[in-house]
Structure 1
């Protein structure tokens, strides 16, 4: 399994196929996501780590507006 820290162009590193499937992803840090990809042609698996600069949304930003609209007085 190969690993890279740069944004992947979503092609298989081994055969160059664009037929790849995202198996899973997880957040490593607030601004970094690790993804496991699997090639449907040659069955190669590889990991990408993507960093981004946008601010992450807090749970309060999501929950408060949603639940306050459900309150019936």
Structure 2
């Protein structure tokens, strides 16, 4: 019952004359940042590649170490 009444309530736009200018500057800054750095969705790819590469290198090193240990133990 209470939420039905609140669903139609919105915050009125500010009457501050500088708000429109600040919003325009903020939109322009946001656009520049997106153009320069992309979005957060673009960032994890590089991190994921680094994690996978590190895992492969460490796994390979552990496998080589295990093979060497087995060969040395067999002697």
The TM-score, its normalising length taken from structure 2, stands at 0.31
Structure number having the greater strand percentage:
1
Q: Which has the higher contact order (CA 8 A, sep 6+)?
A: 1
Structure exhibiting the larger radius of gyration computed from Cα positions: 2
Higher helix share: 2
